Structure 1
Amino acid sequence: MPRTQSLRVGRHTLTLHRQDKTLLPAVGSSDAITKGDLVGYYREIAPFMLPHLRGRPLMLERLPDGLDGSRIMQKNTPAYFPEWIRRVTVPKEDGTVVHPVCDDTATLVYLADQAAVTLHRWQSRAPAVRHPDRVVFDLDPSGDDDFEAVRAAARQVRELFEDIGLSSGAMTTGSRGLHVVAVLKGRHTFDDVHDFAKEAAGALAAAHPDRLTTAVRKEDRGDRLYLDVQRNAYAQTAVAPYTVRARPGAPVATPIAWDQLDDPALTARSWTIDNALAQARTRPWGDLARRGRALGPARDALRRLRDEQG
């Protein structure tokens, strides 16, 4: 295979490099995943993935030498990226960071050719980068064989969100657990949303003290599932829907319909680049993105609920 090849994607002609390079090893009888496989997957999944990426600052998890090589967690956009790739400058304590943004298929393919295996997104969109429109609960099992506890916790998070007027969806992470994502109007700050997420996690842990915990220290959790809401703080990221994870076999973080939680065969790595597109075509989250609600009424409802519970 030639070291470079050209590919027309939309209005742009990309020069792709070393498409036969192995990025992720095989699992079982599957083949190893090459850069060409990654490019092909992201090109196909783009219509379903881009709505979850547009306008959002990204952190790129790059494996230029494959899974056995160095892992680069890249926030700043390199100077050599094409000018047509959108950037967004966001403030940090000691300056600014110029994040890449993926608004189109050409950008997604270009990032894949840069061996950006996993895309981690902000919970806000430019230009309102300080006002998140997502709340994320990250649910990982205390042990690798305890996925049933993750399912139960996801249902409990959903029930709480419904009780306080928020719509949410579940997503396998492609790693160990599930994310539950609720949609907001995006009118409040990260501090507001992070505080709300901590209050909601506290309410759930108080209602299910034998199963759930907000204890940050692992030694304080026991066998209880940790309700991780740290991804709701400013400049924190979460894996994007339909992104590939940097693991053997190329598992994919995949949105699911709520009734798919009832499938006993479901795991955090049920989907890979071989079958995630078929799942995406079912549109498991439906019109969730259009059902964002204001944080204020939800926060008030949560506090009333906590008061009722004593």
Structure 2
Amino acid sequence: MATAGSTAAAIRLDGRVVEISKPDKALFPSGVTKLDLARHYERVAEVMLPHVTERPLNLQRFPDGVSNGGIFQRQKPDYFPDWIDSAQTPKQGGDPVTHVVAADAATLVYLANQAAVTLHAWTSRRDRLDRPDRLIVDLDPSGGSAEDVRQAALAFGAILRDELELPPFALATGSRGYHVVVPLQRRHDHDEVRAFARDLGRLAVARDPERLTLEQRKAKRGGRILVDVQRNAYAHTAVAPYSVRALPAATVATPLRWEELDDPATRPDRWSIRSLPARLARGGDPWASIDDDAHALGAARRALDALLRDAGLDAAA
């Protein structure tokens, strides 16, 4: 339940009252306000929390709105209340970083009041930071069309499902691309997962060099879709499911049913704060049982090595 006024609002949930300062302040050119952002995170908490709870978060904050530059924040500020959960993560050559952990809906709403528009989550959980439970291939178009990147996602899904016997899940990132995600049993470290993802990318690029590239430098991509596997490295993050993107229309990173990629009307930025509630009311969270499909990579690693050899490529280059 929320009450609003010209200078303040309060959202009551989880036995707490979260104050929303300047609730009518427009954070997006489309007119979406800070209170709208807070209400979004209140609405999606039930489906979002299973995907972020126990994961260290990085916050992308826009105190002056998404058109005016933002702050990418890893460290939990000292002024955050004690009830905001946190996790310490070791940092090579420096002090540990204390990240926010979203343990409840009230935390998501509190972060919205801090103009934390987008939440980025680790691929591992705080009890075993060195063992990721997500493999992510980020398909980032340098140019081209939404159709090209949709077809690329379908191609990755076919390799994973039909040739490696791994279950693919798709996320419309709310921006220009898709994430193809595999839930993992926590048996492999980040280096093993990233090496697997990179070799998967190398195989896909070898099969479709006109559409795909592993070239990080945009000037050298030639308009091709970047197959980005760096999100699988230790301490790297990916946009959290149901997170709002810092784009004019307040689009939302939206989990898909895999078959939705067969529909040409599906686009990475199809859903926004305003349209997502109707989608959730119709079908709920397509990723609700994602962890039930968690796999180890042993058999898939051997199958991928064989496919690389057949393509004239060496494994784990």
Could you state the TM-score of these two structures normalised by the residue count of structure 2?
0.91
Which stretch shifts more, 240-249 or 164-173?
A: 164-173
Question: Where does the alignment leave 5 or more consecutive residues of structure 2 unmatched?
Answer: 313-317
- Take 1:202 and 1:297, find their aligned partners in 2: how far apart are those partners? 18
Question: Is structure 2 residue 38 aligned with structure 1 residue 39?
Answer: yes
Amino acid paired to 2:57: L
Which residue in 1 is equivalent to 2:95? 95
Q: CA deviation at 1:10?
A: 1.1
- String of CA shifts for 1:246-266, please: whole Å, max 9, x gaps: 111101111112222232222
- Take 1:267 and 1:189, find their aligned partners in 2: how far apart are those partners? 32
Match of 1:287 among 286, 289, 296: 289
SS for the counterpart of 2:270 is coil
Which residue in 2 is equivalent to 1:223? 223
Q: How does 1:13-32 map to 2 (within 5 A)?
A: 13-26=17-30, 32=31
SS for the counterpart of 1:24 is coil
- String of CA shifts for 1:175-203, please: whole Å, max 9, x gaps: 11111111101221111111111111111
On the 8 A contact 1:168/1:288 being kept in 2, the answer is: no
Distance 1:182 1:79, change over 3 A: same
Q: CA deviation at 1:286?
A: 5.0
Q: How does 1:156-305 map to 2 (within 5 A)?
A: 156-162=155-161, 163-281=163-281, 282=283, 283-285=285-287, 287-305=289-307
- String of CA shifts for 1:101-160, please: whole Å, max 9, x gaps: 1121111111111110100111111111111110111112231x5111101110111112
Which residue in 2 is equivalent to 1:48? 47
- Take 2:198 and 2:69, find their aligned partners in 1: how far apart are those partners? 34
Q: CA deviation at 1:280?
A: 3.3
- Take 1:76 and 1:219, find their aligned partners in 2: how far apart are those partners? 33
- Take 2:67 and 2:305, find their aligned partners in 1: how far apart are those partners? 48
On the 8 A contact 1:167/1:288 being kept in 2, the answer is: no
On the 8 A contact 2:102/2:108 being kept in 1, the answer is: yes
Distance 1:306 1:92, change over 3 A: same
Match of 1:6 among 4, 10, 14: 10
Which stretch shifts more, 194-203 or 260-269?
A: 260-269
On the 8 A contact 1:165/1:293 being kept in 2, the answer is: no
Question: Is structure 2 residue 83 aligned with structure 1 residue 84?
Answer: yes
- Take 1:191 and 1:228, find their aligned partners in 2: how far apart are those partners? 15
Which stretch shifts more, 84-93 or 282-291?
A: 282-291
- Take 2:279 and 2:304, find their aligned partners in 1: how far apart are those partners? 33
Amino acid paired to 2:306: R
SS for the counterpart of 1:156 is helix
Which stretch shifts more, 257-266 or 150-159?
A: 257-266
SS for the counterpart of 1:191 is helix
On the 8 A contact 2:206/2:311 being kept in 1, the answer is: no
- String of CA shifts for 1:253-297, please: whole Å, max 9, x gaps: 111122222322222211001121332341323522211001222
Amino acid paired to 2:200: A
On the 8 A contact 2:142/2:218 being kept in 1, the answer is: no
Aligned length: 304
Amino acid paired to 2:29: P
Runs of 4+ aligned residues of structure 1 deviating over 6 Å after TM superposition are none
- Take 1:158 and 1:263, find their aligned partners in 2: how far apart are those partners? 15
- Take 2:189 and 2:115, find their aligned partners in 1: how far apart are those partners? 33
Q: CA RMSD in A?
A: 1.5
Which residue in 2 is equivalent to 1:29? none
